[in-house]
Amino acid sequence: MLNNQRTVVDLIIYNCGQLITMQGADRPRIGEEMNDLAVLPDGAVAAANGRIVAVGTTEEIRDQFRPVEEEINAESRLVMPGFVDPHTHLVFGGSREHEMARKAAGETYLDILKSGGGINSTVRATRKTDEEHLFQTALHRLNMVAMHGTTTIEIKSGYGLEPNAEAKLLRVINRLDQRHVLDVIPTFLGAHIVPGDWERNEYINWLIKEALPDFGELARFCDVFCELEAFTVEESVRILSAAAALGYGLKAHAGQFNALGGAGAAAQLGALSVEHLDFVDEDELDSMRENGTIAILLPGASFFTGAGEYANPATFIERGIAVALGTDFNPGSCPCFSMQMIIALACIEMKMTATQAIIASTLNAAFATKTAADRGSLEPGKKADLILLNIETPEQLPYYFGVNLVEKVIKNGRIIYE
């Protein structure tokens, strides 16, 4: 018998065969905690005003709450928090499918970059593309992202690399946040490469003296690509230190192709995350652990560049360094929208368990974007951002790889895709 005094909510989702809650999420999961999804069998969630009101069993929730709008029967399938994608370069002009044949013929990602292609070619195309067109293409991409179950996404600038074009990209990224239902976290990546039409020191001076002070309102984080053909460790430190002094959160691309020391240096400056980390030295790991820096691993880039080297999640997990996963969506090293594909790669190529990969794609990714206060787990008070997948167990997520398993996406308590 249902209780007549039930509290009215907007939405109830019930009959979730396994409800992954990730409860108790006051910091990123590390070490052994990476083995705990806090699954509730036959779970249910009640939501109102875009937020989670209660999480419990189907019986408890339906006994206490009555929905005015939607009641979704999950029919015993798996329900979990929406993915948080903590590393993308989603706004750019042009595309780079032509590079695939060059790579197949033996050139590497860095060879193509060195020859004036790669990031350089996207910079040329992005500078030429007008703001409205960049915005419209990015909106379509964000719809694809949402269809694949991501409900919060970080987006970096970095294909303008001159004052007007970087400002244009950051405006587009901020407008996407306002206009698209997904939440977008903006990052300034003016330090992506030194563009061919600038002198090196002049460019770095522009970044430090003008760009960083000017773009503070448009970006929450500052990122640097520390790599051969991009920025040295010393340059990265100068740029990140200036950014920290202005109040930016710090991120760094480091160890994508070479262990230059950027990961350790960024960690010592208090970086929230270091990203890629396919190559990393022991002392860098110590710095990351000591500073609580999160490792964002991007197996899609290792896969798509054909570099063949993947990061080793166990190295981080064993040391108590939090691991997150991201798509690295971008036109050159990983044009992939799907966190599900990334989870499959993480499990198959980097030997993560499905449980670890799911934590890395939700809760830990929320910490890596500083958004975990209201997302990344299913707990009362957090945003009602959740996805219903056409699978029954967490292990089936990487198992049925290469297709979209998402059946419904709920963002801020409303169905945005089914």
Q: Which residues bind Fe ion (CB under 5 A)?
A: 328
Contact (Cβ atoms closer than 8 angstroms) between residue 384 and residue 52: yes
Q: How far is the CB of 271 from ligand NIG (least distance, A)?
A: 15
Buried b or exposed e, range 348-368, using 16+ CB within 10 angstroms = eebebbbbbbbbbbbbbbbbb
Residue 322 to residue 370: CA distance in whole angstroms: 14
Residue 27 to residue 377: CA distance in whole angstroms: 11
- Least Cα distance to 251 among 315, 181, 156, 344 occurs for 156
Residue nearer to ligand NIG on the CB measure, 163 or 335: 335
Residue 299 to residue 360: CA distance in whole angstroms: 12
118 binds, among Fe ion, ligand NIG, none (CB under 5 to 8 A by kind): ligand NIG
Residue with nearest beta carbon to ligand NIG: 332
411 binds, among Fe ion, ligand NIG, none (CB under 5 to 8 A by kind): none
Residue nearer to Fe ion on the CB measure, 183 or 328: 328
Q: How far is the CB of 232 from ligand NIG (least distance, A)?
A: 15
331 binds, among Fe ion, ligand NIG, none (CB under 5 to 8 A by kind): ligand NIG
Residue 247 to residue 195: CA distance in whole angstroms: 26
Residue 388 to residue 114: CA distance in whole angstroms: 44
Q: Which residues bind ligand NIG (CB under 6 A)?
A: 89, 118-119, 122, 225, 253, 256, 301, 328, 330-333
Q: How far is the CB of 230 from ligand NIG (least distance, A)?
A: 7
Contact (Cβ atoms closer than 8 angstroms) between residue 408 and residue 388: yes
Residue nearer to ligand NIG on the CB measure, 77 or 89: 89
Residue nearer to ligand NIG on the CB measure, 46 or 161: 161
129 binds, among ligand NIG, Fe ion, none (CB under 5 to 8 A by kind): none
Helices (H), 309-369: 313-318, 339-349, 354-361, 363-367
Q: How far is the CB of 39 from ligand NIG (least distance, A)?
A: 33
249 binds, among ligand NIG, Fe ion, none (CB under 5 to 8 A by kind): none
Residue 14 to residue 74: CA distance in whole angstroms: 6
Token pair, residue 414, equals 């409303």
Q: How far is the CB of 294 from Fe ion (least distance, A)?
A: 15
Calculate the alpha carbon distances from 317 to 23, 35, 124, 321 in Å.
Answer: 20, 11, 40, 6
Residue nearer to ligand NIG on the CB measure, 82 or 255: 255
225 binds, among Fe ion, ligand NIG, none (CB under 5 to 8 A by kind): ligand NIG
Q: How far is the CB of 330 from Fe ion (least distance, A)?
A: 6
Q: How far is the CB of 90 from ligand NIG (least distance, A)?
A: 11
